[in-house]
Amino acid sequence: MNNRAALQQLLQGKRAQIDPSELGIPKRTGRGRRSPGLSQAQVAQALFVTERTYGLLERGEMTAPSREFLDAVARVLRMAERERAALYIYSLGYEPPIPMDPAAGKNVGPAWQKAVNQVSGQPCYINDVAWNVLAANQDFISMFPQEVGRPPRLPERNLMRWMLLREDAREHHLVDWEQQWAVPVAAQLRTAVASYPDNEDLQRLDHEVNEDPVAGPIYRRSIAYVHPDGDTRTMRHAAYVVPPNSTDTRDRCCDRHAPSQRGNVTMCTAQPLLSPGARFFFLVFDAKP
């Protein structure tokens, strides 16, 4: 099946699922065969376009339809996020740049939370579009600098706020903070703020980071987006266990924190497909005294 046929099947199938009365359109009367659901004319009416315009899309004859038009079609036909993605792929050849649902990426299914919690020996976690931690295993929580005599805990639920604004991150945990961490992370934040302008957490972060005397100047000049997948940066791992016969050495970054191991962390990133914008991270740590 080619893209044109797949697009036609998708749109016809979605039209058939919607009762015209649900859109305030009177049911057709009179003689003649009546197909279930909406007609092309009724969809066009709901879109405020001509029947010919909508027909071009459904037949796969519309050249490069606008994203605004495709999103309007997705809303009228009540498409789920995965159906909207198919609409983009069959029409334009690529997936939507941002999800249609403003709440998308703010949560993950219970199975993801269970999966993360059951991973042992490998730090992993999931954050939402605004870097709020949605799920994390104990190996990840134990990586952060720990005050002497206190049990391991996340320093803050929002990792972006911690990475850019907190002293523990800037002075103790994230080595070579400005170049290795602040510059690429600030660029990620700017891209996310532009992609999700209605996200209150991101708008709050944008303001806080911009006003910070240390991170603010870096944030304002960091415009080149750097995706974290596969990136390697230097940090301290608070729970690293030195293997037997190893020359690795744990030391203290300061009197307040327990000993930790300096090394490189490589970020392996994936996306839960039902939560566009959320990110799943595996962190691979390599000790480097």
Q: What is the pLDDT of residues 191-242, one digit of tens each?
A: 888 888 888 999 999 999 999 999 999 999 887 766 788 899 999 999 888 8
Q: Which of 265-281 are b and which e, b meaning 16 or more Cβ less than 10 Å from the residue's Cβ?
A: bebeeeebeebbbbbbb
Does an H or E element contain 110, and which? helix 110-118
Strands of the 232-237 sheet, one edge to the other: 133-136, 124-127, 279-287, 261-270, 232-237
In DSSP notation, 197-208 reads: TT-HHHHHHHHH
β strands within the chain, DSSP E: 124-127, 133-136, 232-237, 261-270, 279-287
**Domain assignments of the chain as residue spans, ordered by start:** 3-92, 110-287
Phi, psi of 83 (to 5 degrees): -70, -40
CATH superfamily of 3-92: lambda repressor-like DNA-binding domains (1.10.260.40)
Q: What is the pLDDT of residues 47-75, one digit of tens each?
A: 999 999 999 999 999 988 999 999 999 99
Domain 110-287 has CATH 1.20.1740: no
pTM for this structure? Answer: 0.72
In DSSP notation, 215-284 reads: HHHHHHH--S----TT-EEEEEETTPPPPTT-----B-SSSSBPPBEEEEEEEEEE--TTSTT-EEEEEE
